[in-house]
Structure 1
Amino acid sequence: MTSSPEDDHPKPKQRPIIRLVIFIIAHSFLFCVACTVAGVLALLLLPVLAKKTYVSENALMPGSASPMISDQDVSGATRFINELNSLTLKSPTAGIEIPRLIALHMANLGGEVSYHKFQNQPNKFHPLHFFTSPDAEANIGNSSCESYATNTVGIIRAPRGDGKESIVLVTPYNPVNLSQNEALSLGIAYSAFSLLTQVSWLAKDIIWLTADSRFGQYNSVAAWLRDYHTPSFGGVGKLHADSCHGNNGVHESKLDMIIETEVSDTFRRAGTMAAALVIKVANTGEESGQDSLNIYAEASNGQMPNLDLINIVSYLAIHGQGLHVKLEKLKSLLDSKWLKFIGELFESVGKIARSLNPQWKFGIPANEYVEGSATLVSSLYNQALGVPTGSHGAFRDYQVDAITMEISPKLSRNTKGRQTEFLFRGGRLIEGVIRSVNNLLEKFHQSFFLYLLTSSNKFISVGVYMIAFLLLVAPLPVLAAYLFSDAAKSNPNSENSKPSKSWRWLYHSKTIFLTHLWGAIVSVIPYFLYQIPIPGSGFGSGSDSEHVARLFLWGALSIFILSVVLVFSGYRSTQWALLKSVMVLAAFIGLCLMSVINFATAEIGALLLVPMCLMIKPLKVAGKLQSALNMVLVIVEFPGVALYLVKSAFGLQNGSGYVEFWYWLESLWVWNSATYIYICMVHLPCWFLCFYILFHPCNV
């Protein structure tokens, strides 16, 4: 028997990378289990791997200069607070008188003063406005006095600047019902503003925005920023009390005549904003050992300010003013026994590692691990939610680094001496931060924009926390390749030609595409539901029964549209292994795309979605134990059930599950959170496909 010429030449060896891929696919089960376990372990290790913060930009030089705020600045702030309090108690037109009083003091200090009038327009859900800031059209032409508010803006022109850059101070307050804490925050900003009008080292303009927050702190700041970045013509006019309260001859005061020539009737601007600080004083119901500072940094869709801004605020607060700096924590985790057990385990491993080699710095004390985990989970949740944690979020929509500084006095009662000390500390802190930002020759860029915080002085960079996400999603493409190859081997006679075999996945792609299209339709149904006029309903209004009715109507319409999709998709004729292969690949693509938009959402989504995608099998194929586990996963992974269980586990559940789920979704779509898009267009379609595969007839 003679051999053919082809047999004389040996087959070329495959490249190492191809052999490695084939090996991984052949052992996909072990690979998937190892990567999933490693991904969960990497998440648990994040607090241990956190590094200490440091100031990357040398030009900031925090604390390099001595504070300059004097007794005169603080005494002026004290008089200003007393005038605000007396005006609040005596004047029936405080909503008009307080902005005018603020404008008078700004003008007396030497600032350029103007008013900014804006209309109350609550956020509305619109499906085409995602990935943009909550929109509102300025229209204050024919409106009642109750529908608008007035911000007061003071600007200091820098003696050493060219007017191209500025720093913004924001103090939210409600002129209709001014609280003592809001008066204190105005006083702190006043003391800093008073100093900055006198210094010669200022190179950036200073904008002091006293934001009228009667319609919400975010709305007032967002309205001003929208007009600041939009060309405007004409002015807002003077602010007269009799325009809204009637002219009875009493309120034609000297104050009105004094500031008539001091306040500009045009919208005043300064340079490009280098940074913004929102100053608040917290309500303190109990006594504590020292003044504290709470920092809020999360903005829309998980955006964070440059880490250097948080670092200089934290450094100056701790080392300059002796404040206790805090970040928001998930308090229910502080008493978690299983988290404490994990912390003790890592602490023991760290001790063993250091005993083997003193240079191995692994492990942290168990208490520090628990606190770091509680802060980390809170940070992840706030970023994944996509809703700003304060009015600083409005600045991030314009790529301006901003944070909210909430100062908590150590005593609930305010004596005169205690108030003076508090004003000194707050004013010096603001002065120090402004002095550091004033040193910058360019915008913040040296430090991280993608990070997670475990404490005020520890962070996790993107290069570390990305590892956990990659380990969690790595099994998905491997499983997709294995299922595709296994389906081709198990049914070799289903197709006659070799090319048609390799393109069978296109048929199942049509099914996957229609399912995700259904998810897109589900995401816009609420917009049309709110076009139906129902008395007493609306965003943030209406009874709980009305919200539940809308939720069930949303569900009924979604099921009806899904039934139409099922008719055209040919679900009954699909091979479950190939369908799961394409579904897993679609989930992988969706999670990777979401990681670019909001990494925290992708991280939590992978933790929930990947185990279900890996384990799901038809009940007729899987064993009893796996079938029971799959049933539990399908029930638990439904978005409403998952939210209820997670919030219950962390002690965040309030009210009935249906109503809370509706309010939660409402907050997502009103704030244009990308998490809402992810839930409807990635998680929900994948959940339904897993549900279908679980009950697949397996007759093909």
Structure 2
Amino acid sequence: MESEAVEEKADKVVVTLKPRPLVRLGRQLILHVNIISILCYVAGVVGILILPFLAKNTYISENALMPGSAHSAFNNFDSIYARSSAEELLELASQNPDVQRTISRWIIQEMLGVGADCYIHPFNSPAPAFSSTRFPKSSGHFKWTTAANSSFSEDEGQQQTTSGVNVVGIIRAPQGAGNEAVVLVTPYDSAAFEQESAWTLGMGVALFRELSQALWLARDVVWLVADSKYGAYPAVDSWLKEYHSPSISQTSTYDKMTLDWLEKILSEDGQSSKEVIHSQTLGDFKRAGTIASGLVYELNLGLRQGGKDTFTVWAEGPNGQMPNLDFINIVNSIAVYRESLQLRLETLHGIKNWAWLRGAGVSLEEIGKYARSVNPGWNFAMAASVYVDNMATLFSSMFFQVIGLPTGAHGAFRDYQIDAITLQFTVTKNGQDYLFSRIGRLLEGVLRSVNNLLEKWHQSFFLYFLSSPNRYISVLVYMIPLGLLLLGLPLQAAALCYPVKQTSKDAKDLAHSNLTSDGSGGWLEALVLVGAVQLWAFFSTLALFLISDMDSTAETKLLTWSVILVFSLMATFRVQRALAASINDESKGSGGNQNWATVKAVTIGFTCIGLAVMSTVNFPVSLIGALALVPMCIGVFPVERSWRYAQSQGRSALGVAALALGTLWTLAVSPLGLPVMLWSLYGHLLDITPGNVWNFAESLLQWRSALLPYLLVIHLPCSVLCLYILLSRLPTQRRRQ
């Protein structure tokens, strides 16, 4: 009997195993998922604001560059020659109506005079049009293509739009085998030849003349005089295309066009000069070696800032591609320590006047002072004015990279993985000679450092942000804020799939909602819905591409695209409902509204993956997208559920405020709310009209900007799905309770 009693007690004993530490950690994370998500998002925003404090001083990684180690050969006589050449060009342009022909002939004579290989490169006007991110202060890098230009005959009865003509000169390196080359680009506007273009060409002639006598050249120097009547970028881009991948099928047409232009340029009376053309081989497209680097420079009329001679560096290429940091470092080193020139990084107008940015600077300055008073070793204080300048530079660089358009002609080199930058010098009317000397020595020093490279740029960073000319933020630092912003998304998805907290009625309702759609049918319905919306987003991108080829106005194209989007979205939801009904017959009565929690979980997963992938293509786009989409994905709930929670007895003021903010933010960044918000904030600064919006979209499409796929493939479907969740009705069983 006793043994049987012991066996019965043993059967009644329930062995409770303690969960593993990892499981308990997961339970705690899910239990406090809302607080953790908010803290991670706030930490990510704070991480962005303190990036200037985490910046490091720039340094030159490649020892072979040796900037400023040699004496410059460019002297005062060269600067006088540059000024006299500019004056001669202005006089020739004023006396001859055909400026393009006059300037090209003069440059050819100068190149042949120093014994350089010379040829011309005609190109047609770019179509479709190019546009610029530097619209307030664009210096002719990009221009809209117009049909008002004259034409020249390629054959009898056949007319073509006026071509631009690049003049190219090559100095063969006496110390090299001709395997590598450095390209110096000098853009000038033949359609509106003014003093700035004359200064730029005069400096180029003087520098090219000096380099032709240099014995230290180990790389060929290619001087590309780019005709920027359509913008400097199309001129450089067309030459690079012909340099790297010549169009064999159009060789005869190109040769005839080149000969026509040579006869026009070299003949005073309009007759042919074939003897001169063939003797100098001016019609042959000559090449140097592999292009190692590109340097674009301009001279613009302006005023000295702060009593100092300044110049601006433009480095952003297509989709935020940046040149090697050493390239900018050698420019800064030679300019500051050898030529007393101040390097500037362009900032967008108005950023420094943001009140919240100034307030953040003052607050961080006080925090730094207090930390230093507590411990003198915590010396990370930064003046508020310096912080505002650094953040303005950082935000401006992010803006240019978000748009995805290059900020100068150097962007054409990035398509061939060639490091290049644009230097924009500010020249006053007085004191040109001494400033020309500094500019010439700076350009010569940069070319000499690039000439010293033993291999391709590889030592320093390619992924970085500049907060000032001498401070940078590496990829290891600026990836941390993005990781913090995205960290809350997988936690929220896990909390929706496996709810732990079930003490309040609201949590029980959430658990019941998950359990009602926890089967394979519920998850399959959610996947079908999210997948259908994603396919609709891809269709909208394809529609944009097809509609852009229509021969119609921009307003008509935008209206057509919007109508197609609305009707295709309605058809998408109808097809999804039919598929959901075939998957699970029980969802017919509720119309698929009972699985909002699984839809939200799948939406969060797709959004998190999309932002992570976008960070490898264009990091600023992913960062801005995370700032906009993370609060929407976390804070969106059905309106009916939020209303029930607001009227329940267990509600809290913080919870009600969070639900209200989530709803408002979802509406603000939706496809309808986002344009209204942008127009209300920046409508007085930008001319936001339907036509301009469509032109901007076509510009992003033409430049293959990553911003367009983000808006159409990530932001648009995520916002539509969040609106679907917001308008979802609760299950019938819950409403009966």
Return the TM-score normalized by structure 2: 0.84
Counterpart selection for 2:358 from 334, 340, 363: 340
Q: In the alignment, which residue of structure 2 is the partner of 1:490?
A: 512
Provide the C-alpha distance between the structure 1 equivalents of 2:312 and 2:493, rounded to a whole number of angstroms. 46
Question: Can you list the C-alpha shifts for 1:143-162, whole angstroms capped at 9, x where unaligned?
Answer: 63643211111111111112
Distance (whole Å) between structure 1 residues aligned to residue 393 and residue 73 of structure 2: 35
Q: 1:181-580 to 2 correspondence within 5 Å?
A: 181-231=196-246, 236=255, 250-251=269-270, 261-284=279-302, 289-409=307-427, 411=428, 414-415=429-430, 418-486=431-499, 489-491=511-513, 494=516, 501=519, 504-534=522-552, 537=553, 547-570=554-577, 572-574=591-593, 575-580=595-600
Q: Distance in 1 between matches of 2:25 and 2:440?
A: 62
* SS class of match (1:617): coil
Residues 246, 301 of structure 1: alpha-carbon distance in 2 compared, 3 angstrom cutoff? closer
Q: Could you tell me how far apart the structure 2 residues matched to 1:578 and 1:485 are? A: 11
Shift of 1:187: 1.8
Quote the Cα distance in structure 2 between the aligned partners of 1:403 and 1:4.
83
Q: What is the CA distance between 1:504 and its match in structure 2?
A: 3.9
How many Å apart are 1:603 and its aligned residue? Answer: 0.3
Q: Could you tell me whether the CA contact under 8 Å between 2:166 and 2:225 is conserved in 1?
A: yes
| SS of corresponding position for 2:29 | helix
What is aligned with 1:129?
none
1:18 positional shift? 4.0
> What is the match of residue 24 of structure 1?
29
Q: Which string of whole-angstrom CA distances, capped at 9 and with x for unpartnered residues, describes residues 293-340 of structure 1?
A: 101111111111111111111111122211121111123121222211
Identity of aligned residues (%): 37
Alpha-carbon distance in structure 2 between the residues aligned to 1:509 and 1:34: 29
Residue in 2 that maps onto 1:96: 101
Aligned residues: 666
286 and 310 in structure 1: CA distance in 2 versus 1, 3 angstrom threshold: closer
CA RMSD in angstroms, aligned pairs only: 3.0
In the alignment, which of 720, 723, 736 is matched to residue 688 of structure 1? 720
The AA in structure 1 aligned to 2:547 is L
| Worse overlay, 224-233 or 169-178 | 224-233
1:699 maps to 731
Q: 2:169 maps to what in 1?
A: 154
Deviates more, 1:580-589 or 1:618-627: 618-627
The aligned amino acid for 1:371 is: D
The residue identity in structure 2 corresponding to 1:444 is W
Residue of structure 2 equivalent to 1:542: none
Q: Which runs of 5+ in 1 are unaligned?
A: 126-135, 538-546
Task: Write out per-residue CA displacement over residues 490-519 of structure 1, whole angstroms, 9 at most, x where no aligned residue.
Answer: 258747xxxx83674232111111101111
Structure 2 residue 59 is matched with structure 1 residue 54: yes
SS at match of 2:639: coil
Separation in 2, partners of 1:436, 1:647? 47
Separation in structure 1 between the aligned mates of residue 75 and residue 495 of structure 2, nearest angstrom: 72
Deviates more, 1:354-363 or 1:56-65: 354-363
Change (3 A) 1:201 1:516: same
What does 1:600-619 align with in structure 2 at a 5 Å threshold?
Answer: 600-619=620-639
Confirm or deny that 1:632 pairs with 2:664.
Answer: yes
Amino acid at match of 2:670: F
Q: Deviations over 1:58-92 (max 9, x none)?
A: 11111111211134433432332223212211112
Q: CA deviation at 1:244?
A: 6.6
Equivalence for 1:130: none
Is residue 527–residue 602 contact of structure 2 (8 Å, CA) maintained in 1?
yes
Match of 2:71 in 1: 66
**Largest Rg, 1 or 2:** 2
State the distance in 1 between where 2:99 and 2:50 align.
54
Q: Which amino acid aligns with 1:429?
A: L
CA–CA distance in structure 1, aligned partners of residues 703 and 189 of structure 2: 23
Further displaced range: 626-635 or 523-532: 626-635
Deviation of 1:359 after TM superposition, in Å, equals: 2.7
SS of aligned partner of 2:416: coil
1:95 deviates by: 1.4
326-335 vs 367-376, which moves further: 326-335
Find the residue that maps to 1:476 and give its secondary structure: helix
Q: CA deviation at 1:614?
A: 0.7
In structure 1, what residue type is equivalent to 2:54? L
CA contact (8 A) 1:187 1:423 kept: no
The CA distance in 2 between the partners of 1:334 and 1:491, in whole Å, is 49
Among 68, 76, 83, the alignment partner of 2:81 is 76
| Letter in structure 2 aligned against 1:117 | P
Superposed counterparts of 1:126-141, under 5 Å: none
Given the superposition, is the C-alpha separation of residues 652 and 600 from structure 1 closer, same or farther in structure 2, using an over 3 Å criterion? farther
- 1:416-443 residue CA offsets vs partner (Å, 9 max, x unmatched): xx22222211111110101111111011
Cα offset, 1:617, TM superposition: 0.6
Q: Shift of residue 360 of structure 1?
A: 2.2
| Matched position secondary structure for 1:171 | strand
**Deviation for aligned residue 1:288:** 6.3
Q: Which runs of 5+ in 2 are unaligned?
A: 131-144, 146-152, 500-508, 581-590, 647-655, 733-737
**SS of equivalent to 1:348:** helix
Q: Aligned equivalents of 1:104 and 1:589: distance in 2? A: 58
**Partner-residue secondary structure (3-state), 2:573:** helix
Q: 2:178 aligns with which of 148, 160, 163?
A: 163
TM-score with structure 1 length normalisation?
A: 0.88
Change (3 A) 1:11 1:226: farther
Q: Aligned in 2, Cα 1:145/1:81: closer, same or farther, shift over 3 Å?
A: farther
Q: CA deviation at 1:356?
A: 2.8
Distance, in Å, in 1 between the alignment partners of 2:15 and 2:221 is 77
Q: Secondary structure at the match of 1:264?
A: coil
Which residue of 2 is the match for residue 658 of structure 1?
690
Q: CA separation in 1, counterparts of 2:11 and 2:389?
A: 68
Change (3 A) 1:659 1:250: same
Higher deviation after alignment, 347-356 or 228-237 = 228-237
CA deviation map 1:28-49 (0-9, x unaligned): 1111011011011111111222
Matched AA of 2:512: S
* Separation in 1, partners of 2:20, 2:615: 32
Decide whether the 8 Å contact of 1:647 with 1:653 is kept in 2. no
Shift of residue 163, structure 1, vs aligned partner: 1.3
Q: Does 1:112 align with 2:117?
A: yes
SS of 1:60's partner is coil
